[in-house]
Chains A and B, each alone.
Chain A
């Protein structure tokens, strides 16, 4: 199967390369260049919207930023003899256009930090309009509605590139863009983007600053658009606001949806069909747009995942897991946990209200380094609120938190992870259909020592690091009892197993303090025993654990100390045996059947 796909890909490349030699006249070559340029822009949008799930309808404005920058710059530089002889101004202009568009992308990213989904799309529409209007009105610079004409033709040395030669340059750029897309998607940056699409809390919990990640995604995708814009300007030799209207932005989103958002070849398939089709429909004359519209409508109706959605990514064939998660086989201690030193947690005077509801009042909690501390209490007692404060999701109204005796400045969920505080969630925050292995790799990604360019150039160091992280991830997966499930999409796992994936992901952070929110919910008796084993071995590895759990058998068998919350107040604190005998705890929480004899 894989060989067939590779074969088809090479055939497509050969056809693209031979294309200008096969057709007569410049019109089709020109059309070919436009398709490839749109393909490059669509690839950028695919990274942002297809993989990271951030909708954007501002492509035209970003292309315009690139196009106008290179147009103005090259026109100014062209008369200078140095540039006339070398053609260097063209390449400088293209770099400058790309950079300016990337800066525009950063500006466009800021609304994405506050709004998402359709709201974000609306903001990007407004951005596109503003840029379009500026192009029209700032006549002294942009030429207004008349635009900019006689933009220098592309040249190499003193040689002007004709349509056919330029086609090959653009084809080369397109192939590089396609390769970059692949490497970006596979890099840790790309993995985080795909993860963020499914759960921002989940990806923040492994130490990723979601704001920075979004800005980076916008910048990179804008650079593709800006670069495409510069190619467009030099190809056309004439640009005006008409080229960058709202419909062009819609065109790119439509192109990736049509071709298949979040697929490798979706952008080019979409860009090609949607560009060439109207040309083929000349015969329909005035019905042209109706036919075009109906065609898109029907395709998206019958192929909701786009054309490339017909060819799902090759996955290792689904097979039954080898080691059942409740197997008695004890996995080796993962290398990732070798050098962990547990932290002591001290919380004092913690209070927090939501609206009029007082969730916590003056709560104190002391967890010794390397111990297992359970937090129990009736539903709604404030247990999750407390660990949300410790992990930086909420801020306490009052009180202080000390880590190893030092005042902790946690501030945010990703900030907590950076300080070695990892957690799992009561309502599972996994990354959709990403595999179990990928989930754990996102957790390990913060330990990467290499800059992103290593991944983009696929350096040897990058490959070695990737191999070592995969090995570490496999060990962690085996450690929580999920060996054999590595390549399964998390969506296919049973509820209880998804919780174990969260534990493995949290362990990948190499936590000094691990917060577990109901890890045993959804597990049957022998799975709970296996989990107890995992928790005890984490203690051997010296990880400090704060555990919220309702399965008293588990709590009693692993905990060194228990704190009981009821209605936001600590009602008891002590050893497991003392807690089981405590009258208040029995009355409020345990009921007679769990009380110690």
Chain B
């Protein structure tokens, strides 16, 4: 049984259909990526799965349960974490407090040692975050905030991590290291559904990929199949980088 199974998912804003009946699956410990241009419905897909948008039809099965009608906080408690587009940190809180909020369920159960270990791992991944633990999150630069947002999601120890444009605003060197980190997360048993504009990087670490165009899945397959498709090369990889 796949960890996540989406069937015939439909979402409409007013009369405008944004998702027109999409289906996708994510197996345990898989990294799956969704490619598509702006306005295709990628962010809407992730937000709907996370319970932030109510679908107008279809099923979302997570770990054998239909979560389509479940409120967002219960979906999160079931082990599904979203790193939203645009960071959404608590600007008046310190970086450390933001990170602790991500791990609040761990901390509630008194697992401070686990939290410490996870925190060290995040600081190793993003040394910049480690240097700024006591600063107010609102004072960080945009890219630094993005690192904190990813770190916060990792600290919640999700079973399924939904990442919406994690590379947004990050310097090239860092983008490479976060993607390496995502690849390593699999070893910790975390499954990832990834939306990413830098298709080349996403296709480097994923197992399978879907291409979403105007609310419909037009292509799916293993990363090799998708990366070799001429339409994908043209639109998402850029001509200069034909092969990942």
* Residues of A participating in the B interface, judged by any CB pair closer than 8 Å: 317-318, 320-321, 324-326, 354-355, 357, 376-381, 383-384, 426-428, 492-497, 518, 521-529, 550, 552-553, 588-591, 593-594
Q: In the complex the two chains form, is A380's CB within 8 Å of B173's CB?
A: no
Q: Out of B16, B85, B171, name the residue touching A589 (CB < 8 Å).
A: B171
Query: Is B75 on the interface with A (CB-CB < 8 A)?
Result: no
Known contacts: A426-B169, A594-B172. The answer to whether A494 contacts B15 by CB under 8 A is no
Give, as a whole number of angstroms, the nearest-CB distance from A160 to chain B: 55
Q: In the complex the two chains form, is A380's CB within 8 Å of B172's CB?
A: no
With a cutoff of 8 Å between Cβ atoms, the chain A residues found around residue B139 in the complex are 354-355, 357
Q: In the complex the two chains form, is B238's CB within 8 Å of A553's CB?
A: yes
Q: In the complex the two chains form, is B236's CB within 8 Å of A526's CB?
A: yes
Q: In the complex the two chains form, is A495's CB within 8 Å of B143's CB?
A: no
Q: In the complex the two chains form, is A426's CB within 8 Å of B236's CB?
A: no
Q: In the complex the two chains form, is A522's CB within 8 Å of B237's CB?
A: no
Known contacts: A380-B141, A494-B43. The answer to whether A325 contacts B38 by CB under 8 A is yes
Given contact pairs A378-B173, A521-B169, A526-B236, enumerate 13 new A-B contacts (beta carbons under 8 Å). Answer: A318-B13, A318-B16, A355-B139, A383-B141, A427-B142, A521-B168, A522-B165, A522-B197, A524-B35, A524-B199, A525-B236, A525-B237, A550-B169
Q: Which of B5-38 contact A (CB under 8 A)?
A: 13-16, 35-38
CA distance A426 to B169 in the complex (A): 8
Query: Is B128 on the interface with A (CB-CB < 8 A)?
Result: yes
Binary flags per residue of B179-193, CB closer than 8 Å to A gives 1, else 0: 000000000000000
Nearest 8 CB-CB pairings of A with B: A379-B143, A525-B238, A494-B38, A496-B38, A591-B173, A318-B16, A380-B141, A494-B39
Q: List 26 A-B contacts (CB under 8 A).
A: A320-B16, A320-B214, A325-B39, A355-B139, A357-B135, A379-B141, A379-B142, A379-B169, A379-B174, A380-B144, A426-B142, A428-B86, A492-B13, A493-B39, A494-B38, A495-B38, A518-B169, A521-B168, A524-B36, A525-B236, A526-B238, A527-B38, A550-B170, A588-B173, A589-B172, A593-B172
With a cutoff of 8 Å between Cβ atoms, the chain B residues found around residue A381 in the complex are 141
CA distance A379 to B178 in the complex (A): 14
With a cutoff of 8 Å between Cβ atoms, the chain B residues found around residue A427 in the complex are 86, 142
Q: In the complex the two chains form, is B197's CB within 8 Å of A496's CB?
A: yes
Query: Is B108 on the interface with A (CB-CB < 8 A)?
Result: no
Cβ-closest chain B residue relative to A492: B13
Cβ-closest chain B residue relative to A428: B86
With a cutoff of 8 Å between Cβ atoms, the chain B residues found around residue A326 in the complex are 37, 235
Q: In the complex the two chains form, is A379's CB within 8 Å of B147's CB?
A: yes
Q: In the complex the two chains form, is A553's CB within 8 Å of B240's CB?
A: yes
With a cutoff of 8 Å between Cβ atoms, the chain A residues found around residue B16 in the complex are 318, 320, 492
With a cutoff of 8 Å between Cβ atoms, the chain B residues found around residue A550 in the complex are 143, 169-172, 175
Binary flags per residue of B220-244, CB closer than 8 Å to A gives 1, else 0: 0000000000000011111010000
With a cutoff of 8 Å between Cβ atoms, the chain B residues found around residue A589 in the complex are 171-173
Give, as a whole number of angstroms, the nearest-CB distance from B135 to chain A: 8
With a cutoff of 8 Å between Cβ atoms, the chain A residues found around residue B240 in the complex are 553
Give, as a whole number of angstroms, the nearest-CB distance from A428 to chain B: 8
Query: Is B176 on the interface with A (CB-CB < 8 A)?
Result: yes
With a cutoff of 8 Å between Cβ atoms, the chain B residues found around residue A380 in the complex are 128, 140-141, 143-144
Cβ-closest chain B residue relative to A359: B141
With a cutoff of 8 Å between Cβ atoms, the chain A residues found around residue B37 in the complex are 324-326, 524, 526-527
Q: In the complex the two chains form, is A384's CB within 8 Å of B238's CB?
A: no
CA distance A318 to B14 in the complex (A): 8
With a cutoff of 8 Å between Cβ atoms, the chain A residues found around residue B36 in the complex are 524
CA distance A267 to B143 in the complex (A): 45
Q: In the complex the two chains form, is B85's CB within 8 Å of A318's CB?
A: no
Q: Please tell me the size bucket of the interface on B.
A: 35 or more
Q: In the complex the two chains form, is A379's CB within 8 Å of B238's CB?
A: no
Known contacts: A325-B38, A518-B142, A526-B234. The answer to whether A378 contacts B171 by CB under 8 A is yes
Q: In the complex the two chains form, is B38's CB within 8 Å of A523's CB?
A: yes
Q: In the complex the two chains form, is B197's CB within 8 Å of A523's CB?
A: yes
Give, as a whole number of angstroms, the nearest-CB distance from B122 to chain A: 15
Q: In the complex the two chains form, is B43's CB within 8 Å of A495's CB?
A: yes
Give, as a whole number of angstroms, the nearest-CB distance from B234 to chain A: 7
With a cutoff of 8 Å between Cβ atoms, the chain A residues found around residue B86 in the complex are 427-428, 495
Q: In the complex the two chains form, is A591's CB within 8 Å of B172's CB?
A: yes
Give, as a whole number of angstroms, the nearest-CB distance from A545 to chain B: 19
With a cutoff of 8 Å between Cβ atoms, the chain B residues found around residue A590 in the complex are 172-173
CA distance A495 to B167 in the complex (A): 14
With a cutoff of 8 Å between Cβ atoms, the chain A residues found around residue B147 in the complex are 379
Of residues A355, A494, A496, which shows the largest number of chain B Cβ atoms within 10 Å of its Cβ? A494
Give, as a whole number of angstroms, the nearest-CB distance from B34 to chain A: 12
Q: In the complex the two chains form, is A379's CB within 8 Å of B144's CB?
A: yes
Cβ-closest chain B residue relative to A317: B15
Cβ-closest chain A residue relative to B240: A553
Q: Out of A355, A378, A428, A591, name the residue touching B176 (CB < 8 Å).
A: A591
Q: In the complex the two chains form, is A384's CB within 8 Å of B235's CB?
A: no
With a cutoff of 8 Å between Cβ atoms, the chain B residues found around residue A523 in the complex are 38, 197
CA distance A159 to B146 in the complex (A): 73
Cβ-closest chain A residue relative to B141: A380
CA distance A410 to B80 in the complex (A): 48
Q: Out of A379, A497, A528, A588, name the residue touching B39 (CB < 8 Å).
A: A497
CA distance A426 to B43 in the complex (A): 19
Cβ-closest chain A residue relative to B40: A494
Known contacts: A379-B143, A496-B197. The answer to whether A529 contacts B38 by CB under 8 A is no
With a cutoff of 8 Å between Cβ atoms, the chain A residues found around residue B171 in the complex are 376-379, 550, 589
Q: In the complex the two chains form, is B235's CB within 8 Å of A379's CB?
A: no
CA distance A496 to B39 in the complex (A): 8
Cβ-closest chain A residue relative to B213: A324
Known contacts: A379-B141, A525-B236. The answer to whether A497 contacts B38 by CB under 8 A is yes
Cβ-closest chain A residue relative to B196: A524
Cβ-closest chain A residue relative to B168: A521
Give, as a whole number of angstroms, the nearest-CB distance from B174 to chain A: 7
CA distance A326 to B40 in the complex (A): 12
With a cutoff of 8 Å between Cβ atoms, the chain A residues found around residue B39 in the complex are 321, 325, 493-494, 497
CA distance A422 to B20 in the complex (A): 39
With a cutoff of 8 Å between Cβ atoms, the chain B residues found around residue A357 in the complex are 135, 139
Give, as a whole number of angstroms, the nearest-CB distance from A595 to chain B: 10
CA distance A497 to B197 in the complex (A): 13
Give, as a whole number of angstroms, the nearest-CB distance from A433 to chain B: 11
